[in-house]
Chains A and B, each alone.
Chain A
Amino acid sequence: MNLLAAEAGSNFLEQELSVVVLLAVAAAMAIVVKRIKVPYTVALVLVGLAFAFFPNFVDIDFSAELILGLLIPPLLFEATLHIPWPKLKADLVPILIFAIGGTMLGTFAVGWIVWWLVGVPWLAAVAFGALISATDPVAVIAFFKSLGVTKRLSVLVEGESLFNDAVAFVAFTLAVSAAAPGESFGIGNAIGDFLIVGGGGLAVGIVLGWFVSEVVLARVDDALIETTTSLALAYGSFLVAEEFGLIFNIEDLHFSGILAVVAAGLMVGNIGLRNTSPTTRITLEYFWAVLTFLVNSLVFLVIGLKINLREIDIAENILNVAIAIGAILLTRLVIVYGFGAIHARVQPSRRVPTSFRHVMYWGGLRGAISLALALLLEESDFAPDVVDTLLVMTFGVVLFTLLIQGTTISGLIERLGLSGQQANQRHQQEIQARIYSRRAGAAEIQRLGSEGVLFSSMAKAMQSNYNEEVAEARNELAEHFSTHPELEITMLLQARRDALVAEQSAIGEMVRSGFVSTDVGHDLTVELNNRMAALDLIEERWETDVTPPGELDNS
């Protein structure tokens, strides 16, 4: 028997078992958090932290490469898949100001504070400033969805995060590279490299995303093929960008894999799925929802696992961690409010409301990207004690943002009055459901009466009761609409959207049955998709997002 093979097999089994344990824990936590008021991601981090005290329970090593290459691409791809280009385009200016200007400021400002107060070398401090500037909105976006926060705020937060991940990654790489023997950090070179790495990444993503969208997705309506292709694109775009030099035999040339995934996801979400039937779209979205859930669960458990509390000397590091937290909070303050004020002057029509800025400030959580980049420091030329210091500071900041900011952000959203729509809509649906169910009850009583199962006088009396209840519910609905008039148009918008989806299905059926040609079906589907995009735009700009409460006169 081959002993080495046996050992490798045993090791593989241990790792497989660890993954099974992690998935089981993730599923269990998903059930638990439905009963307690803790964000799912925060609960996972807490469980991951607890694993440090049971070292033999989970035996798996998630390297920085594994996190960046395996876990991050699908998360980024799925996030961009759902961002409508018109909405992103409408807020591209503030997003880029926050993502590029903000991240650059954050990199150097946090770097300077850490260099000054913690005493680490300048390039190591800049690398830390870069890695800690990457925001991770997963936990915040989950709250946005459950609280019914407006789409514009989601797009602003997600958009900033997607692009600042890329900027932080590039800045981090430049700082770490400059620390290598014989290298130096020049602003001119850094800007040039940044443009090449970032622009190249975007170009790779756009080209691959366009190719897959036009050549495969737009011509095929098959759930299995489209899902598989989208998965290949998510990982493929990342790999091609990162390994561009290796693939095309050009020495030392690589582009931003993160930006490539972002661009590819936007292309697929906005172009690739335009001919996709509702059935295929649902399958594809379901696949990505499951994959994102799995990957997210692993990411946040890994964050907890990597922050090995047993090995950290808390007393020795507490001051450094406090400095790092203070630095990111202070810098984020300047970025969100300072750059926000500049943007308001540059583009007054798309001014980011103050209430949104509060959420963007406190919702600037740090997560997987920061952690993965910090783990990459172990392979850098910085001294081991410097790397250890930066790692602990990263862990501290990630923990603080997840456990403190992550658990209080929903309260802030509610306090700012940005979560009301969902509750109002829920109440509206409750009343509508009551009307619907009472009418069904009345119909059944009528049937029983007409079939002679129930005395007609009894049936009439019961129907009369039902009618009264329906009338009461109708009055309540009218009252509700008068208090929340925005619901009228919201209801119409939703109904119109449902109707357009039904029209799309009908066209798909006609194409499949051969009643209309593929070309005609394609044109009609494109028109309906454009109408959906127009509805999205109306929803965003016409009704609710333009003037948040208390800011009517400033719009």
Chain B
Amino acid sequence: MSGPDNIGELIYVSWGGTGRGAALRAAYDQAADADQSLTYLAILDPPHFADLDTGFIKLVIDELEWLLNAHMLTVAEASYKQVETTRVIVRTGNVDDEVVQLAKASGAQSIVLGAPIAIGDTSVDELVAALRRHTGIAVTVADPDAPPLT
């Protein structure tokens, strides 16, 4: 199965923060150029969010989803390019597990990491290599020097 509407899908991943530079805008433009749908996967990973109780983490997920949806729409509104389908998914868990799981489930064609923060002892390069190995698709780190909002 492919992503939404059965077109190719680009997964933009961030954890621990929204990502520096114009990462989301770069991913948006990349998805538009490749005529792919864009899925914003935000992961609340254990080092930062494991201590929260179940009820509260649900509220955090709701609010973050709301904010990131608004962020995505802001980027879409400001871009000259257009991505047909966008969606935001917020999950809790380990970054590599969640990315691999979503990529396999949606048949994504590429993955862009928007928050290049090392996870514990795993460097970003190691994470990229592991994701490539497990998904078999292109994995890149977002271009922090993407063009500004207009």
Contacts and interface: CB of A to CB of B under 8 A. Distances in A.
B63 A534 contact: yes
B20 interface: yes
A543 B150 CA distance: 23
Contacts of A547: 16-17, 117
Contacts of A541: 16, 48-49
- Chain A facing B: main interface SS: helix
A530 interface: yes
Contact of A482 (B120, B123, B149): B149
B41 interface: no
Contact of A542 (B17, B62, B123): B17
A349 interface: yes
Classify chain B's interface size.
Answer: 35 or more
Contacts of A349: 46-48, 50
B67 A485 contact: no
Interface stretch (B70-78, B81-89, B96-104, B127-135): B70-78
Interface centre among B22, B50, B63 (most CB of A within 10 A): B63
Contacts of B67: 489, 492-493, 496, 538
B60 interface: yes
Given A542-B16, A546-B17, A547-B16, A478 B47 contact: no
Given A90-B51, A535-B63, A478 B150 contact: yes
Interface centre among A538, A544, A553 (most CB of B within 10 A): A538
A533 B116 CA distance: 27
Interface in B49-70: 49-52, 56, 59-60, 62-64, 66-67, 70
A534 B150 contact: no
A312 B150 CA distance: 66
A542 B118 contact: no
A530 B56 contact: yes
A524 to B, nearest CB: 14
A555 interface: yes
A485 B22 contact: yes
A481 interface: yes
Given A534-B59, A542-B16, A546-B17, A489 B48 contact: no
B30 interface: no
B92 interface: no
A348 B62 contact: no
A482 B148 contact: yes
Given A478-B149, A488-B71, A538-B64, A543 B18 contact: yes
Classify chain A's interface size.
Answer: 20 to 34
A289 B23 CA distance: 41
Contact of A552 (B21, B48, B52, B118): B118
A552 B117 contact: yes
Nearest to B63: A534
Given A493-B67, A542-B16, A543-B17, A531 B59 contact: yes
A479 interface: yes
B6 to A, nearest CB: 31
Contacts of B17: 542-544, 546-547
A11 interface: no
B89 to A, nearest CB: 15
B18 A538 contact: no
A475 interface: yes
B64 A542 contact: yes
Interface string A522-555: 0000000011011101100111101100001111
B16 A555 contact: yes
B18 A542 contact: yes
Given A538-B60, A542-B64, A546-B16, A348 B70 contact: no
Contacts of B49: 541
B18 A485 contact: yes
B83 to A, nearest CB: 18
Contacts of B62: 531, 534
B74 A488 contact: yes
Given A479-B148, A496-B66, A552-B118, A489 B56 contact: no
B56 to A, nearest CB: 7
B22 A546 contact: no
B59 A530 contact: yes
A533 B58 CA distance: 12
Contacts of A485: 18-23
A33 to B, nearest CB: 36
Nearest to A553: B118
Contacts of B74: 488, 492
A488 B18 CA distance: 10
Contacts of A534: 56, 59-60, 62-63
B18 A489 contact: yes
19 contacts: A349-B48, A478-B150, A481-B149, A485-B22, A488-B71, A489-B18, A489-B67, A492-B67, A492-B74, A496-B63, A530-B56, A534-B59, A537-B60, A541-B16, A543-B17, A547-B17, A552-B118, A553-B123, A554-B118
Interface of B: 16-23, 46-52, 56, 59-60, 62-64, 66-67, 70-71, 74, 78, 116-118, 120, 123, 147-150
Given A538-B64, A546-B48, 6 more contacts: A482-B147, A488-B18, A533-B56, A546-B16, A552-B118, A554-B118
